[in-house]
Amino acid sequence: MKPWRVSQGLALILIAGVISPCALYAEPIAVDARPIVLNPHAPGQTRIGALVYRGGLNLSSSEHRFGGFSALGVSADGKRMISLSDRGSRLSADLVYDASGNLSGLHRTDLSSLAGLDGRTLASKNQADAESMSPGVDGEIIVSFERQHRIWRYLPGQTLPQPLPPPAGLNRLDSNNGIEALTLLDDGRLLAISEGVEDAKNAIAWVSDRSGWSPLTYGLTGGFRVTGAATHPDGTVYLLERYYTLREGVAVRLVRLASHLITPGAELRGVTLAELRSPLHVDNFEGIDVRRTPDNRTFVYLISDDNFNILQSTLLMMFEVLPK
């Protein structure tokens, strides 16, 4: 397996612009984007941990394929986003900001479908459960799937995906505990982290090199499990973790990890930047991306998977990370 090497700035542009050829039957859809505050009980609150809330949206649509978004990509200039769902759909939209630079709406929303190896739409949940994505060296988008665990790459201008050699042991994971986080590191390697099982102390992970995949582990604490990852242009990896119980509901936290710690055989442990739980606006966040502005500010975007459940919501939220 050759390493995936690409500059991070190019990678973010690729995420926004090159995913389209891998999708089928794109069509405009109407999406209602209702602005939300961070804390409905304290509308003036904007600070949580090392994050400053920079706007959020509750997204909904009458289109039956809308929902289940588990992977997120935002262009380097913050103007465009895409998101992949666990039913094989791809949402694309322009991001709109208010005069203060806070996320305030969406324009030009369309929905399409990922293609399978036969060039057709991924028909079943078993085939279509996309959970994470990352850019690659040749301008491709690399997507990991659950249930039928696999990693596919979608090259620019091509509809058909190309299977990538999977990490050893991936096929032994439970159908719903596959790769939840996939990100291109600043040195061209790929980091893949599985969701892990309930009450486990570690989740299995892998990092790529010229000879293939090497295993490592990701430390789990407090009942949280990994649901997404993104790499900052400075090499820092931002990880999204989720916690859920019927009694306490859902909580998420954002964790920062230095890339030099990601070595074969390591046990990865990051630093928690913030934890979001009730009464804050929070849902089943699974998609994450990060970008840096020309004046060296860092913005993190999160999207939630509503599981096509009327009791859940599709939330798209933006935060600014305070300087270290």
Provide DSSP, 271-311: EEEEEEETTS----EEEEEEEE-TTS-EEEEEEE--TT-TT
If one looks up domain 8-321 in CATH, what number appears? 2.120.10
Q: Which residues contact 169 (CB under 8 A, 6 or more apart)?
A: 204, 215
- Closest to 106 in 3D by CA, of 78, 69, 131: 78
Question: For residue 196, what is the DSSP state?
Answer: -
Q: What is the pLDDT of residue 70?
A: 96
**Report field, pTM of the whole predicted structure over 0.85:** yes
Residue type, position 188, single letter:
G
Domains of the chain, by residue range, sit at: 8-321
Q: At 10, phi and psi to the nearest 5?
A: -65, -40
| Residues of the chain where predicted confidence (pLDDT) is lower than 70 | 1-23, 137
pLDDT for the residue numbered 22:
60
Q: What is the pLDDT of residue 276?
A: 97
Whose tokens are 């978004």? That residue is 69
**Contact indicator for 114, 143 with CB cutoff of 8 Å:** yes
The secondary structure of residue 121, as a DSSP letter, is: B
What was the pLDDT predicted at 165?
A: 94
